Amino acid sequence: MRASRFAATYGARVAIAESGRFGGTCVNVGCIPKKLFSYAAHYREDFHLAKSFGWTLGEASFDWATLLANKDREIARLNGVYESVLAKAGAQILRGRASVVDRHTVEFGGRRYGAQHILVATGSWPQLPQIPGRELAITSNEAFHLDKLPRRALVVGGGYVAVEFASIFQGLGVETTLAYRGPRLLRGFDGELGERLAEEMRKKGVAIRLQSNPARLEKGIKVAYEDGSAQEVDLVMFATGRKPNTAGLGLEGAGVKLAADGAVVVDAYSRSSADSIHAIGDVTNRLNLTPVATAEGMALARTLFRGEPTAMDHDNVPTAVFSNPNVATVGLSEERARERRGKVDVYKTAFRALKLTLGGHEERTFMKLVVDAASQRVLGAHMIGPDAGEILQGLAIAVKLGATKAQFDATIGIHPTAAEEFVTMREMST
């Protein structure tokens, strides 16, 4: 959508084919509805916390159907907004599935369209593991449209989607288990983030099974694990990976090279092995984040239709995980920094946020800075705690610009906030 809109703005004649609803995964079954669910799940803790500040509340109750209806209404509004924006930009909208015939031809509805450039931005789709009984499970796609909340749920996986939905289910009153085959959550993030997040989620009531993987599902639903143990639940949700949507698009016949997982292989300018065919977003399986995909779209539009060759910079991209508590990060993990730079200085702190001190809550906020020992440049900033994404967005500017630890230290903190801890850390971790 972003690529189409900007290309049209730059004077290109643009047609966009969409077989579903506008907005892709993010708007329909991703970031937006997930964040709305995450907000809903936090209220139970907020109501409890309010009592310590003198508020007297009646008995709270939650209605899943109300949340679902309000979420659907907002998503429908966004669908309409996006379609309207495309139409106003002058893009021709084709409602249905298109396929690639050759390097300059697309087929849609029995008709062929010629194009100087073809862009593939078909995203990815959640995958179920090939185990017996997998048809009894759901993925994140279906989780946004459940008729009712289960009493007991098992979420399988250890990445973004898994920890977010485990937190959502638990926050909405579901007895929740999170099972992951690895030794710690959030593989690919700084190691301490995964370890500490597991601790905090356990405090909130999520049962976490590490190095644990379902071997089969049986009607009931009974989950049999690879280690011989078993568990009965009402719902199993797999969040164990996504696969690029390239099957049946005709790309290979047009000379487009695909990776083993089906991802379109592209260069720094999002150009495939067929120079007239380009790809951006999750279908390329580079850095699968919505803001990255939209930035890739803008960069491609500038490259093709504005005479400004623009390569997407995938370094120091900030990201957040809307688990409870939130996780956010920008730059290098401690492990990756040591691999690339050798000697690094590490600063970290853990504390109970001021808001939690009156109610006896045990949740602890965690912050960490990874600094290049030679240049003193801040290579990475990491956080677990309330509003971590909001706080790290500002720090991402400093990390992107190459700020040093001394410049962090020279910045006055806003008191009393959690964010000020990022500019007051003085003792290196051993």
State the catalytic residues.
415
Q: Which residues pair with 156 in a beta bridge?
A: 179, 238
Task: Return the structure tokens found at 362.
Answer: 């045990």
User: What's the CA dihedral at 83, 318, 400, 415 to 10 degrees?
Assistant: 110
Q: Which residues pair with 94 in a beta bridge?
A: 17
C-alpha 266/C-alpha 282 separation (Å) is 12
C-alpha 384/C-alpha 368 separation (Å) is 9
Task: Return the structure tokens found at 299.
Answer: 């960069």
**47 vs 58, 146, 358, 405, CA distance in Å?**
10, 25, 14, 39
C-alpha 30/C-alpha 169 separation (Å) is 16
Contact partners, residue 339, CB within 8 Å, separation at least 6: none
User: Burial letters for 393-414: b for 16+ Cβ neighbours within 10 Å, e otherwise?
Assistant: eebbebbeeebebeebeeeeee
Q: Tell me, what amino acid is at 282?
A: D
- Cβ–Cβ under 8 Å, residues 189 and 329: yes
